[in-house]
Amino acid sequence: MSIRIEYPLWFILLCLLLGAAMAMLLYYRNRRDDLPQWLVRLLAVLRFVSVSLISFLLLSPLIRSVNRTFEKPVIILALDNSQSIQMGRDSAYYQTEYRQAIEELIGVLNKEYDTRIYTVGDRVEAVDDLSSPFLTFGDKQTDLASLFNEVESNFSNRNLGAVVLASDGIYNQGMNPLYSAQKIRAPMYTIALGDTSVQKDVILKKVNYNRIAYLGNKFPVEILVGADKCAGQRTRLTLSRGDSVLFTKNIDLTGDLFSERYLAELYAGQTGLVRYRVSLSGLDGEISYDNNSSDIFIEVLDSRQKILILYEAPHPDISAVKSAIQTNFNYEAEDFQVSEFPGELSKYNLVILHQLPARSGNHSPILEKIKESNVPVLCILGGKTDFQALNQLNLGMTVHPAEQMVNEVIPAVNPDFMLFRIDDDTKILLEKFPPLVSPFGEYRLPPTADILFYQVMGKVTSTAPLIVFTGTVDSKAGFIAGEGIWKWRLYNFAEKENHNAFNHLILKMVQYLAVKEEKGFFRVIARSSYRENESIELEAEVYDRSYEPINDPDVEITIENDKGTRFPYIFGRKGTAYHLLVGNFPPGNYTYQAKVKAGNDLYEKSGQFSVESVNIETVATRADHALLYNLATRYGGKMIFPDRISELPSLLEDRDDVHTLVYTRKSYNEFNNVIWILAAIVALLSAEWFLRKYKGSY
């Protein structure tokens, strides 16, 4: 702290001279007041100091202060909490000595650093309470890339000293950590856990199957079997449903590193969710039997929904839409040139018209059949569309285009759209999609129309729809007011190396239009399958007689597992609907029975879902220390083994780039604003006045 003034320093001498002059004027040779000599001198000093301070304040002095803030280095200690850590023979070590070593390490690091602790497995979780056990080694998956994303998000602008990762190097979710760690600007140290030696083990590596089959059809199940150090022995592969064995095969294990694929063909003889079990018989001395079996769940449907695509002339939009539809096994897409279509509409759940009716031909007969059949319609408009004929179909939207005028438009999401949900990743990508060529003109919609995307021309968002849905529950229609949607599919692949966003959008539209809406007053919405490491979420909707949503009555649901155990719940209210977060269930088949009493009416709904086991952590039991070594050396750190955990603090202390940062902030404040200076002046003047009055002077 220091004091600065804008005037030359000799002005301070003037302030002192002024104070001395005032003191001498009042008290030098003061004969009139019969005061003691010591009191006169004291009063003179009080006057000298107070006047000098007041005159000094007239110079507008400033107080310059320097504040220093110290930021300790942040050390990220990430601990692998997945099942594979204790799959080896030394599992007891990780339950005892390893835990103790980690606790001691945390205690030492906390003295010098700002230590943040995370567990890594199914998800990345911060450990705030060290008193509770945070190392359970129960996570079913390992995503190391999510750790680096978490660190980069939370500590990119902090004094990040180092990242310490204690893991066996096995990851089965997310990106390769060697690449995802590039965003971390700090040295990385790894603690190599697990065992790199090959142990005797028979492994059910993978089961490939389609999650949906159709009643009366045969469907394949591909099984990948592996074995380590089991040469000359035999295991038995079995595929069963309940107590019925559907497929079996004896496998002779040749070689110490055995791997082979086997194909089983099953028959879909019943509808609903069917649970199958794939297992390998165990051998004596295996390191683990947990990876010898797996449950799979297949939903058997009565039939696929059929989608018809009609067009006047070939166009890349047609193949783009068809390929998106065929990614879902629930749908079967067929495309015909309109002049070659045989005309059997009854077997289709949705008709997609590409630039039909067209100006170049008379297609009224087939279009009238579509209208009379009440089959949902999705119209893709373009330069060849006959809008006068389209308007006469009364599908819910009429277009009156300006002659031969088109616009290049991009989509803008309508935040009030409620028919279905587009995921956030697709919405972000939509903003970058190439423009569609859309007819320019007047679009007329009924009040009940639901606009998914508006047209954006340049930087102006218009009220004209780009994708819109009209109609009623019995006769639904949708419109894509532009051609060139195939470019969206190509852009999706160029950005993400997949077509997921484009397929998601098309399938959501097809699902809404093709599905037969349930007209009941009570609905329960649940997925057909969940994983054992994810929470089960259910939703429900209740409607009054006017089909207005209500959520006044309580909705009860009872979930029953395949052993007959029941779990009762009550839905919570969310907006105008209901929501229930059940939590995690063990693998198996579950049925549910829900009911609600609205007024005098009792509504009930039943359904089923499956919970699939996640055994991915048990497939790879051999630690990948090469990955941990590459992580450490590439990012300026070092790999150590668990018996040297205590050396880690000294390794960090030896680094010059892991140190406390000092932030300096300078500030200026007017001397006149310092309250104790003003208090001192008032105290000096008050003391002088009191002493004079007390001795009878004036």
pLDDT of 298 higher than 90: no
3-state helix, strand, coil in the chain (%, to 5): 30, 40, 35
Q: Is the model more confident about 360 or about 479?
A: 479
Measured between alpha carbons, how far is 377 from 350 in angstroms, rounded to an integer? 6
Mean pLDDT of 157-178: 87
Cα angle value 165/171/172 (rounded, 5°): 155
What are the backbone dihedrals phi and psi of residue 691, each rounded to the nearest 5 degrees, phi first? -65, -40
pLDDT of 478 higher than 90: yes
- Residue 399, classed as helix, strand or coil, is strand
Q: At what angle do helices 37-57 and 10-27 cross, to 10 degrees?
A: 140
Cα angle value 583/586/588 (rounded, 5°): 120
**Averaged pLDDT of the chain:** 86
pLDDT of 146 higher than 70: yes
The DSSP string of 324-379 is HHTTSTTEEEEEEEGGG-----TT-SEEEEES-SBTTS--HHHHHHHHHHT--EEE
Distance in angstroms between the alpha carbons of the first and the last residue of the chain: 41
pLDDT of 473 higher than 60: no
Measured between alpha carbons, how far is 589 from 246 in angstroms, rounded to an integer? 19
Confidence (pLDDT) at 89? 60
Q: 163 with 151: CB under 8 angstroms? A: yes
Domains by residue range for the chain, with CATH: 2-66+668-694 (no CATH), 73-195+622-659 (3.40.50.410), 201-301 (2.60.40.10), 305-514 (3.40.50.880), 522-612 (2.60.40.1220)
241-271 pLDDT tens trace: 888 999 999 999 988 889 899 999 998 888 8
Rounded to two decimals, what is the model's pTM?
0.56
- Residue 473 one-letter amino acid: V
Confidence (pLDDT) at 113? 92
Confidence of residue 548 (pLDDT cuts 50, 70, 90): confident
Confidence (pLDDT) at 530? 86
Mean pLDDT of 344-369: 84
pLDDT of 31 higher than 70: no
Mean pLDDT of 402-409: 83
Confidence (pLDDT) at 85? 82
Measured between alpha carbons, how far is 590 from 587 in angstroms, rounded to an integer? 9
Nearest to 238 by CA among 210, 276, 202, 275: 276
Confidence (pLDDT) at 559? 94
The DSSP string of 210-233 is -SEEETT-EEEEEEEEEEES-TTE
Measured between alpha carbons, how far is 246 from 301 in angstroms, rounded to an integer? 20
Confidence (pLDDT) at 255? 83
Confidence (pLDDT) at 88? 66
What are the backbone dihedrals phi and psi of residue 623, each rounded to the nearest 5 degrees, phi first? -65, 145
Measured between alpha carbons, how far is 342 from 330 in angstroms, rounded to an integer? 24
Mean pLDDT of 167-191: 87
CA distances 440 to 357, 382, 401, Å, are 18, 10, 6
Q: Which helix (H) or strand (E) holds 43?
A: helix 37-57
Measured between alpha carbons, how far is 262 from 670 in angstroms, rounded to an integer? 85
Mean pLDDT of 149-172: 88
Confidence of residue 693 (pLDDT cuts 50, 70, 90): confident
Mean pLDDT of 427-446: 90
CA distances 243 to 240, 275, 625, 647, 690, Å, are 7, 11, 42, 55, 107
Lowest mean pLDDT among 282-291, 376-385, 638-647: 282-291
Confidence of residue 555 (pLDDT cuts 50, 70, 90): very high
Nearest to 120 by CA among 132, 138, 97: 138
Lowest mean pLDDT among 81-95, 309-323, 405-419: 81-95
**Could you say which DSSP state residue 516 is in?**
-
Confidence (pLDDT) at 506? 94
Confidence (pLDDT) at 30? 55
Confidence of residue 474 (pLDDT cuts 50, 70, 90): low
Measured between alpha carbons, how far is 464 from 439 in angstroms, rounded to an integer? 11
73 exposed, middle or buried (CB, 10 Å; 0-12, 13-18, 19+)? buried
504-537 pLDDT tens trace: 999 999 988 887 655 678 989 888 888 888 889 9
Measured between alpha carbons, how far is 115 from 119 in angstroms, rounded to an integer? 13
Alpha helices in 202-326 (DSSP H): 316-325
597-632 pLDDT tens trace: 988 889 999 988 888 877 766 667 778 899 999 999
pLDDT of 698 higher than 60: no
CA distances 34 to 42, 285, 650, 691, 695, Å, are 15, 113, 78, 13, 9
Q: Which tokens in the block code for residue 418?
A: 């409620």
Lowest mean pLDDT among 28-37, 43-52, 195-204, 520-529: 28-37
Q: Is the model more confident about 64 or about 409?
A: 409
98 exposed, middle or buried (CB, 10 Å; 0-12, 13-18, 19+)? buried
Q: 506 with 460: CB under 8 angstroms? A: no
- Residue 246, classed as helix, strand or coil, is strand
Q: 357 with 315: CB under 8 angstroms? A: no
E-assigned strand segments in 215-317: 218-228, 233-241, 244-253, 257-267, 272-280, 293-301, 305-311
SS3 per-residue string spanning 550-613: ECCCCEEEEEEECCCCEEEEECEEECCEEEEEEECCCCEEEEEEEEEEECCEEEEEEEEEEEEC
Beta pairing, strands 257-267 & 272-280: unpaired
Q: Which helix (H) or strand (E) holds 463?
A: strand 460-471
In a 13 Å sphere around the CA of 120, the CA atoms on its Cβ side amount to: 30
- Residue 283 one-letter amino acid: L
- Residue 72, classed as helix, strand or coil, is coil
Sorted by sequence, the CB contacts under 8 Å of residue 676 that are 6+ apart come out as none
In a 13 Å sphere around the CA of 529, the CA atoms on its Cβ side amount to: 18
Measured between alpha carbons, how far is 301 from 21 in angstroms, rounded to an integer? 108
Alpha helices in 342-483 (DSSP H): 364-373, 387-392, 424-430
